[in-house]
Amino acid sequence: MQSYCTEYDNSRPHPSLDDLKKWLRKIRELGTMRIALVGGEPLIHPNIVELVRYCRELGFATSLTTNGFLLTRKLIAELEDAGLQVMQISVDRMTPSPITKKSFKTILPKLDYFRDSKISLHITGVICADTLPESRAVLETGLSRGIPTEVRLVHADPLRRFRVDRGPREELERFIDSMIERKRRGEKIHTSEAILNYQRSLLRGEHVEWTCVAGYKLFFVSAQGKFWICSMVHTDKHIMDVTLDDLYANYRKKSCQEGCGVYCAVSASLLVEKPIAVLGKEIVARAKRVPSIFHPSSSPRIDYAPPAGITNPDGTHEMNGRTNGGPSADDRVTLRKSV
Ligand SMILES: C[S@@+](CC[C@H](N)C(=O)[O-])C[C@H]1O[C@@H](n2cnc3c(N)ncnc32)[C@H](O)[C@@H]1O
Ligand code: SF4
């Protein structure tokens, strides 16, 4: 299948539960507070429920990103019981296509499973030429059900190649603009205005000033236990050999910043760089969701909003520790853990 994502790469075996637990303990020792089980596809790991439970026992705030194909009422109940706090379901189109099978057609019947669940659900889609004609419908469908929803621009690989056609710039820009408008009105666009602005700058080819905190405030661990600065920049160092000094050394401008599409890293970086500007806009947007403040007559909706304290202003779950200044011994890092 020609796809924008590498999740269908089944060439490597699942890491064992024992290895994963060992890596998790090490990651925790490094001061990591939050973990995102991303994959590949985390739900195909045979021990995913136990893994979530172990993450919680170690004290991680825990989220999971999935295409949702394997979700059942029973599995959601088990994940909830294990302590999973946040789930992201990826939905790119209303119906599947050769580029992506992540469609609302598959997911809609499953949304009901979350109605009484403590797991906070949000939906994230990827926009490219193939998905663009249906991206607005994806956004509308998620928002109309009260689910925080985001659709974001497809990004290139480290060699700056797009695996799929990105789509016409003007139309993409109009769509991003419309999301900024809706965000400002208080709708549950599950990303920050800072990231929407950043994506618009990407489209326009404008330079954005920022310092990448990937490898420091957040990092990835591969299915082989390798320490990855981010999903695009990999190292051969094993997570068991990583030190705090290794992490601090990654708080620097990086040669791959221009055009970077690793939005979780950009988001964490912008928050570190401009906490007041980023958080200020988010607070205003969220305040508009409170009916008594801005919408005295609005009707109630199902609310899957995440618990306070686990979500970043852009809706991601990667950011920890201080949001300003340089590294210090007290800083915490966050993992996007790959299984
Ligand atoms: C490793 S992926 C896949 C995890 C899981 N299988 C899923 O479908 O959610 C994690 C997220 O990154 C997104 N993603 C993958 N490749 C991307 C790209 N080239 N541009 C933008 N987002 C991408 C996916 O759509 C998904 O939401
Ligand atoms: S700028 Fe940072 S997040 Fe982006 S590709 Fe480079 S290391 Fe990764």
Report domain extents, the chain. Answer: 17-291
Give the pLDDT of residue 295: 55
pLDDT digits (tens, 9 = 90+) for 69-96: 999 999 999 999 999 999 999 999 999 9
pLDDT value of residue 297: 47
Q: Worst-scoring range by mean pLDDT, 53-57, 209-213, 297-301, 302-306?
A: 302-306
| Residue of 8, 106, 126, 160 to test ligand 1 pocket, by largest number of atoms within 8 Å of CB | 126
- 237 Cα: distance to centroid of ligand 2 (angstroms): 17
Q: What is the DSSP letter of 214?
A: B
In the chain the first and final C-alpha atoms are separated, in Å, by 21
Protein residue whose Cα sits closest to atom 21 of ligand 1: 154
Looking at residue 325, its pLDDT comes to 39
The number of the ligand nearest the C-alpha atom of 43 reads 1
Ligand nearest to the CA of 122: 1
Q: Which residues of 109-137 are buried (b: 16+ CB within 10 A; e: fewer)?
A: ebbebbeebebbbbbbbbbbbbbbebbee
Contact predicate 44/37, CB 8 Å: no
Q: 2 pLDDT band (50/70/90 cuts)?
A: low
Q: Candidates 44, 64, 65: which one to mutate for ligand 1, based on the most atoms within 8 Å of Cβ? A: 65
Angle separating helix axes 169-184 and 193-204, nearest 10 degrees = 160
Architecture of the structural domain at 17-291: Alpha-Beta Barrel (3.20)
Neighbour count for residue 314 (Cβ, 10 Å): 28
* CA 119 – CA 34 distance, rounded (Å): 15
- 202 vs 5, more confident: 202
Q: E strands, the chain, where?
A: 34-37, 61-66, 86-90, 120-127, 149-153, 218-221, 226-228, 234-238, 334-337
CA distance 91 to 139: 9
Indicate whether this model's pTM tops 0.75. yes
Check residue 39 and give its pLDDT: 84
- Give 259-315 pLDDT, tens digit per residue: 999 999 999 999 998 887 788 778 878 777 766 655 544 433 333 333 333 344 444
* Residues framing ligand 1 (Cβ under 6 A): 4-5, 7, 38-39, 41, 65-67, 90, 102, 124, 126, 154-155, 261
Lowest mean pLDDT among 77-91, 102-116, 152-166, 185-199: 152-166
Q: Give the bridge partners for 37, in sequence order.
A: 64, 337
The one-letter amino acid at 87: M
Ligand 2 pocket: which of 207, 217, 231, 232 to mutate (most atoms within 8 A of CB): 232
Q: Which ligand is nearest to the CA of 250?
A: 2
The CA 108 to ligand 2 mean position distance, Å, reads 34
